[in-house]
């Protein structure tokens, strides 16, 4: 079983956490979701109203996590607005005791500082991780998880992935067309382990994180 920790594809043959749009009303009870306010999402309604909407969706049992949310230094949304949104979602995740799915572009120190400042007690998954080992270690030292996608086909990410403790990793497809089984195959090759062994470890990680 190849769990896809973060995908935007609604049709999946493997267990997956689907990143649901905030305006989605038709949740499939047989599937898992995460719901959040992305840094680039247009804010055409007040944050308080948007958070009320998010809270109602996040209350669903099959919404396993809050996100993706976080900070992105390459998008056009002002950083103070991004931080306000992110803090509100950290607080919601802690209120509901649900993990965070983090979107982070060139802002890992800021994200980690905000999590600490908010006395965050839930684990976070830094999805689509594509950074160096120093940043990876900062996230791991804060007891969070790293999720790798198609970037592991590139040398830098593969080298980082090789060094990460197996009990702190997830794999994902995000919005790519690549199949999750292909990512598992490459990940197992990088680590020099079998696909069944890797799949079993990620299932354990999933169970530990989501209590499923």
Q: What is the pLDDT of residues 92-116, one digit of tens each?
A: 999 999 999 999 999 999 999 999 9
Whether the predicted pLDDT of 43 surpasses 80: no
Residue 68 preceded by cis peptide, ω within 30: yes
Instruction: Specify the DSSP class assigned to residue 130.
Output: -
pLDDT at 124: 98
Q: What counts of helices (H) and strands (E) characterise the chain? A: 7, 8
Res 176: pLDDT? 94
Instruction: State the pTM of this model.
Output: 0.96
What percentage of the chain exceeds 70 in pLDDT? 100
Q: Beta partners for 148?
A: 171
DSSP state letter for 174: B
Q: What is the span of the domain harbouring residue 159?
A: 4-210
| The total number of structural domains that make up the chain | 1
Of 180, 129, 182, 177, the closest CA to residue 151 belongs to 129
Q: How confident is the model at residue 183 (pLDDT cuts 50, 70, 90)?
A: very high
CATH number where 180 lies = 3.20.20.140
């Amino acid at each position: 079983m190849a769990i896809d920790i973060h995908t935007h594809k609604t049709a999946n043959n493997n267990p997956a956490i689907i990143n649901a749009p905030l305006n989605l009303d038709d949740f499939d009870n047989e599937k898992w979701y995460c719901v959040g306010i992305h840094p680039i999402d247009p804010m055409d309604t007040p944050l308080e109203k948007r958070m009320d909407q998010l809270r109602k969706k996040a209350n669903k049992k099959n919404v396993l996590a809050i996100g993706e949310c976080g900070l992105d230094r390459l998008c056009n949304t002002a950083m103070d607005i991004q931080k306000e949104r992110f803090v509100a979602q950290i607080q919601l995740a802690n209120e509901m005791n649900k993990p965070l799915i983090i979107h982070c572009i060139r802002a890992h120190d800021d994200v980690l500082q905000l999590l600490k400042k908010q006395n965050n007690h839930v684990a976070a998954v830094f999805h689509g991780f594509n950074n160096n080992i120093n940043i990876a270690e900062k996230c791991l030292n804060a007891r969070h998880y790293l999720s790798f996608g198609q970037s592991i086909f590139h040398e830098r990410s593969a080298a980082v992935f090789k060094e990460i403790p197996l009990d702190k990793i997830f794999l994902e497809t995000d919005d790519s067309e690549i199949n999750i089984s292909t990512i598992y195959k490459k990940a197992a090759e990088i680590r020099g382990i079998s696909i069944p062994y890797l799949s079993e470890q990620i299932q354990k990680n999933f169970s530990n994180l989501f209590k499923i």
